[in-house]
Structure 1
Amino acid sequence: MTEPALTVEQQMHPAGPVVLTVTGELDHHTAPRLTEALEGVPLAPGTPLVIDLSGVAYCDSTGITVLVTAYHRAEAAGSSFGLAGLSHDLTRVFQTVGLDQVFTLHPTTDDALAALRH
């Protein structure tokens, strides 16, 4: 049996935001990879963070906890924070647990970047 894969790519967008693109399954086994990537993101006032989840096939409560922690860290640093590209199923999970009231959810990374510029 193979271990679920998760990749995290970090890009500095020309407009200033940091974009993390997450692909794979975000669960108990793979969440430390995202946590490690997030710890390396230089958060500061005026440096928004967008996490692109369009490539995430599955997210459990551990993954959600990592995202909530990232949100709190961004807030403490004075950074804007947005999630982009959530699948229909993942959006429903976030709505069910009320996280759509905490996170700003965007259909695409471009939409998130445009919203954070305003």
Structure 2
Amino acid sequence: MNALHLASERANGSVVITVTGELDLATRPELAAYTRHAIDVDGGTVIVDLSGVTFIDACGLSSLIALKRYAREHDRPLLLAGATPAVLRLLKLTNLDGTFTMVSRPGAVGTPTTGRTATGPALRSGSPGTDR
């Protein structure tokens, strides 16, 4: 089992939460508590950097959806950054790739564009205030 490691830092007025390891049933509560704390305490955008995620299952995806909803309820944008191929594949397979606002890397928050994954500064999928 690959443990989950979470770290956060402030960057450009945002909070970046770096996630390393597995997102699954066992690690869901830890990710939820850590990210909800950042949403509650820090103002501004919360960016979840998934570039270190080695495994994600339906429970991990469910936790990301719940966190997006929680952030929206607290008027905080939640973005996903650095999504690995495994994360992107799961989002696409579940038809949730249009639900999240995604950026190519944590420091790439700029003017988002709608649609596909690319290497530009920021990417946006879905419409604000919608969850599936």
TM bucket (normalised to shorter chain) is: 0.7 to 0.9
Q: Give % identity.
A: 29
Q: Give the corresponding residue for 1:24.
A: 21
User: Where in structure 1 do 4 or more consecutive aligned residues deviate above 2 Å?
Assistant: 113-116
Q: Select the residue among 6, 9, 15 that pairs with 1:8.
A: 6
Q: Give the corresponding residue for 1:78.
A: 75
Contact 2:7 2:18 in 1 (8 A): yes
Q: Which has the higher contact order (CA 8 A, sep 6+)?
A: 1
Aligned length: 112
Question: Secondary structure, in 3 states, of the residue corresponding to 2:107?
Answer: helix
TM-score normalised over the length of structure 1: 0.84
Contact 1:71 1:81 in 2 (8 A): yes
Q: Select the residue among 78, 85, 88 that pairs with 2:85.
A: 88
Structure 2, unmatched stretches of 5+, are: 113-121, 123-132
Contact 1:4 1:29 in 2 (8 A): no
Q: Give the corresponding residue for 1:66.
A: 63
Q: Does residue 114 of structure 1 match 2:110?
A: yes
Instruction: Give CA deviations for 1:32-88 in whole Å, capped at 9, x if unaligned.
Output: 2111201211448x6111000000000111111111111001111111111011112
Question: Secondary structure, in 3 states, of the residue corresponding to 1:114?
Answer: coil
TM-score normalised over the length of structure 2: 0.76
When you count helix as a share of all residues, which structure comes out higher? 1
